[in-house]
Amino acid sequence: REELVESGGDSVQAGGSLRLSCKTNRFTFNYNNMGWFRQAPGKEREALAVIDSAGISKYADSVRGRFTISKDNAENTLYLQMNNLIPDDSAMYHCAADVHLTLWSMAPGGSMAFRGKGTLVTVSS
């Protein structure tokens, strides 16, 4: 059973920064693409960023330039560095893993093999 465990969510003021972490096992980390998506109450799921096993990353337009996805191979951990946070960034943030994971996979209607339970980010104005 695959397990993805997110951490790092917090309450911050607009303009602040947070770094989210997603810890998993070595097999999941090494053999899957991994990514982040978020979902706010009453809103659809929104794909944010994805990184493949070669370290190539892609971003949604809404976060490109503010968020950075990265991996620590030694720690089997996925990160999401979030800068210049705005109130609209408030949501539950989840990490996902799938051999074929793309931004489309994490968008509404897409599918992911594995996802974590999430970590809550709240940004106040």
53: pLDDT confidence band, cut at 50, 70 and 90? confident
2: pLDDT confidence band, cut at 50, 70 and 90? low
In the 8-state DSSP scheme, what is residue 88? G
- In the predicted model, what is the mean pLDDT of residues 38-58? 95
Burial of 39 (0-12, 13-18, 19+ CB in 10 A): middle
pLDDT digits (tens, 9 = 90+) for 68-122: 999 998 999 999 999 999 999 999 999 999 999 999 999 999 999 999 999 999 9
The residue type found at 70 is S
Query: 107-114 contacts: CB < 8 A, separation 24 or more?
Result: 107/37, 107/45, 107/46, 107/47, 108/44, 108/45, 110/47, 113/2, 113/32, 114/2, 114/3, 114/4, 114/28, 114/32
